[in-house]
A = this chain, B = another copy of it.
Amino acid sequence: MDMSEQCAAPGSRQCNHSGTTVCADCTVRVVSVCNVLEPSELEALERISQVTVFAPKSMLFDQGALASSVFNVTEGIVRLYKSLPDGRRQIMGFALPGDFLGLALMDRYGVTAEAITQVKVCRFQRSSFLSYIDGKPHLLRRLHEFAGHELSLAQDQMLLLGRKTAEEKVAAFLVGLQVRYARIGPMSVTVPLPMGRQDIADYLGLTIETVSRTLTKLAREKIILLVPDGVRLLSSERLDQLTAA
């Protein structure tokens, strides 16, 4: 049997640590929950973790299912959404490297998670993770900090969804994404958009056509430049104005 990889779910590949991928080398550790752990604790965490790779468009977990695992995203981008029976969809957020999925530690997933790009995660059995946390209040504190941050982002998003115009929504989305990318890489005015227009629309409470028209309008006004699979932010001045405070 191949020790380095084993099948788990459609679209995903798992492997135990073979010595090549260790937390010590992890590029996103400093921005993720693990950062508060001592080297010895990190080693113990590594022992209960499984690196898993998800193919684009594959599902990490489904809204309402028993939360058997929690995840730390290390590569790629994940969409988190809720759906209504008639197909209407609201994307709650995009998880980037460093983000933790299953933060609430509840027994069922509240949202569906799907890989947009290829996604690499550290996966933990929820039960193992819960016992691991036990007696590590500093880690629990860190998880709580992350949850507080999530809640704060959710509140910003509620303000956006309930009270902002299409133009303000799109501007806030672009600037917000730029800021989040800057946490895990160099600050750049070029913002990749690995998600499609439909995802952006479902995140902002708009239609695909309105997103497209609004991006075109911002481009026509030289506030942004549309590039393949991304956007270049030309006037952070005008964008900040639209994003307001």
Contact = CB atoms under 8 A, between A and B. Distances in A.
A156 B158 CA distance: 10
Contacts of A157: 158
> Copies of this chain, how many?
2
Interface in A154-180: 154-159, 161-164
Interface string A99-112: 00001111000110
A238 interface: no
Contacts of A85: 244-245
A42 B222 CA distance: 60
A161 B85 CA distance: 16
Given A84-B163, A140-B141, A205-B163, A154 B148 contact: no
Given A140-B141, A205-B163, A148 B84 contact: no
Contacts of A148: 103-106, 147
Interface string A117-153: 0000000000000000001010011011101111110
A106 B153 CA distance: 13
A111 B146 CA distance: 18
A150 B205 CA distance: 21
| Dominant secondary structure at the A interface | helix
A90 interface: yes
A145 B106 CA distance: 8
Contact of A162 (B90, B111, B155): B90
Contacts of A105: 144-145, 148
B104 A158 contact: no
Interface in A191-222: 202, 204-205
B205 A162 contact: yes
A89 interface: yes
B154 A158 contact: yes
A92 interface: yes
Contact of A158 (B84, B92, B137, B164): B92
Given A110-B152, A137-B140, A148-B147, A162 B161 contact: yes
A82 B141 contact: no
A154 B82 CA distance: 12
Nearest to A64: B245
